[in-house]
C-alpha cells in the first residue's frame, strides 16, 4: 500500500509542501491527493491540512509533517529528528498556529488544480 499525503487543495502552503516533497521524493514513496477526495466518513475528525496515511495508520499535524521529512532522508530526516525532541503538544501548538493563518499568509486557491507533469500524474489522485 503506497503512503498517501492528503492535503488541503485550496491552501497555498499545502501546495508548496506537495511541490517540496515531489522534488525531493526521488524514490516515489508518496502519492498525493486533495483531502476533498476522502469520503465524509474517512474525513471525520481529520484536520484541514496535511494528513498522511501509512500501512500502520493515519498521521496528522506535526506527526504527519515530521514523518514525511523522515521519509525524504538525508538532511530532511535529520531536521525531522531534531524537531521530534519537542513534545507533540508543543509541536502541534505551533502547527495549529501556522494552520490558523495559512490562508492569510499563503493564500487560498479556490477551484485551482495543480498542473502536474505527465511523468508525475500516476502519483496524484485527482
Q: What is the pLDDT of residues 88-115, one digit of tens each?
A: 999 999 999 999 999 888 887 765 555 5
Q: Establish how many alpha carbons lie within 13 A of residue 72's alpha carbon, considering only the half-sphere containing its beta carbon.
A: 22
Nearest-angstrom CA–CA distance, 115 and 108: 16
Bridge pairing between strands 51-54 and 30-34: unpaired
Are 21 and 5 in contact by the 8 Å Cβ rule? The answer is yes
- Render pLDDT for 74-87 as a digit per residue (tens, 0 to 9): 999 999 999 999 99
The whole model's pTM is what?
A: 0.83
Residue that the C-alpha cell 519537542 belongs to: 86
Q: Name which of 47, 4, 10 is nearest 29 in CA terms.
A: 4
Whole-number pLDDT of residue 36: 83
Amino acid at each position: 500500500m503506497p503512503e498517501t499525503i492528503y492535503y488541503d487543495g485550496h491552501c497555498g502552503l499545502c501546495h508548496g509542501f506537495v511541490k517540496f516533497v515531489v522534488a525531493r521524493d526521488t524514490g516515489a514513496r508518496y502519492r498525493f491527493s486533495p483531502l476533498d477526495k476522502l469520503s465524509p466518513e474517512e474525513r471525520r475528525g481529520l484536520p484541514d491540512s496535511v494528513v498522511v496515511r501509512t500501512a500502520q495508520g493515519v498521521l496528522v499535524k506535526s506527526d504527519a509533517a515530521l514523518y514525511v521529512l523522515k521519509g525524504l532522508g538525508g538532511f530532511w530526516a535529520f531536521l525531522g529528528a531534531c524537531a521530534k525532541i519537542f513534545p507533540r503538544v508543543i509541536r502541534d501548538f505551533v502547527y495549529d498556529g501556522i494552520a490558523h493563518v495559512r490562508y492569510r499568509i499563503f493564500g487560498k486557491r479556490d477551484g485551482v488544480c495543480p498542473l502536474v507533469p505527465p511523468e508525475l500524474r500516476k502519483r496524484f489522485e485527482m
